[in-house]
């Protein structure tokens, strides 16, 4: 691991690993964008990829209002999300997403450390992705957006993941790809490996131009 990506806190070495999913282990962000774009288009609302990436990071109940960006919508957030999950499942079945470089670490780390997953996605969405990758039994703990009151950048998810693994926060190493996720891990007092320098070129270029949607 390059020192550009990771520095141990207080010299301590990690004893447990926690991974984000979308954009960290699997290249699902374009797929999730297409699902949201298709659903919102049916409602007469356009969505750009830049807006989608700027709004992403937290749970769907937090992300969807940002995606709407002030547009009036007759459907509640829960129904928009239900339609998005259904569309995403269809897209997954048609073209499963590819694994990202960070995924290559899973076999070695899982053989040495307790590992968990902390995602902002719904449990149904996360389980669909894990099944498509053959990872349904890889993680000892899976925390989703359905399991927390506050999504990233709040540290709740990562703290729950650490407790479930029986680890203290300072001994956890988190793998993340979003500012909100990095902030959540740091707020939890954990060590963070920022994978963005290992991501596809489209993502690296986008990260230089995206700003958070209010």
Q: What pTM does this model have?
A: 0.80
| Helix H or strand E encompassing 24 | none
- 16: which strand partners? 172
pLDDT at 201: 61
60-119 per-position pLDDT tens digit: 898 999 999 888 898 999 999 999 999 998 998 898 889 999 999 999 999 999 999 999
Measured CA to CA, the distance from residue 52 to residue 213 in angstroms comes to 9
Please state the separation of Cα 132 from the chain's center in Å. 16
Q: Give pLDDT, residue 199.
A: 66
- Taken in order 49, 55, 56, 61, the sign of the CA dihedral is negative
What is the rounded distance in angstroms from the CA atom of residue 85 to the CA atom of residue 36? Answer: 9
Task: Specify the pLDDT at position 195.
Answer: 92
d(CA 177, CA 120): 12
* pLDDT value of position 7: 47
| Beta-sheet strand order (sheet of 191-194) | 141-143, 115-118, 16-19, 172-176, 191-194
In the chain, which residues have pLDDT < 70? Answer: 1-11, 199-214
Residue 54 pLDDT: 86
205-172-98 Cα angle (round to 5): 40
């Amino acid at each position: 691991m390059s020192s550009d990506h990771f520095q141990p806190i207080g010299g301590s070495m990690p004893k447990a690993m926690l991974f984000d999913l979308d954009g960290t282990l699997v290249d699902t962000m374009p797929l999730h964008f297409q699902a949201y774009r298709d659903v919102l288009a049916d409602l007469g609302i356009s969505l750009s990829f830049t807006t989608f990436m700027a709004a992403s990071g937290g749970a769907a109940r937090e992300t969807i209002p940002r995606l709407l960006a002030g547009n009036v919508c007759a459907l509640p957030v829960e129904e928009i999300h239900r339609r998005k999950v259904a569309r995403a499942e269809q897209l997954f079945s048609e073209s499963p997403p590819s694994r990202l470089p960070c995924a290559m670490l899973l076999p070695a780390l899982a053989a040495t450390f307790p590992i968990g997953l902390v995602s902002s996605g719904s449990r149904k969405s996360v389980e669909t992705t894990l099944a498509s990758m053959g990872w349904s039994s890889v993680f000892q703990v899976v925390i989703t957006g359905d399991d927390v009151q506050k999504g990233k950048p709040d540290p709740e998810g990562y703290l729950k993941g650490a407790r479930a693994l029986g680890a203290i926060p300072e001994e956890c190493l988190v793998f993340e790809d979003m500012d909100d996720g990095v902030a959540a891990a740091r707020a939890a007092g954990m060590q963070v490996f920022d994978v963005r320098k290992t991501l596809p070129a489209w993502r690296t270029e986008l990260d230089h131009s995206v700003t958070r949607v209010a």
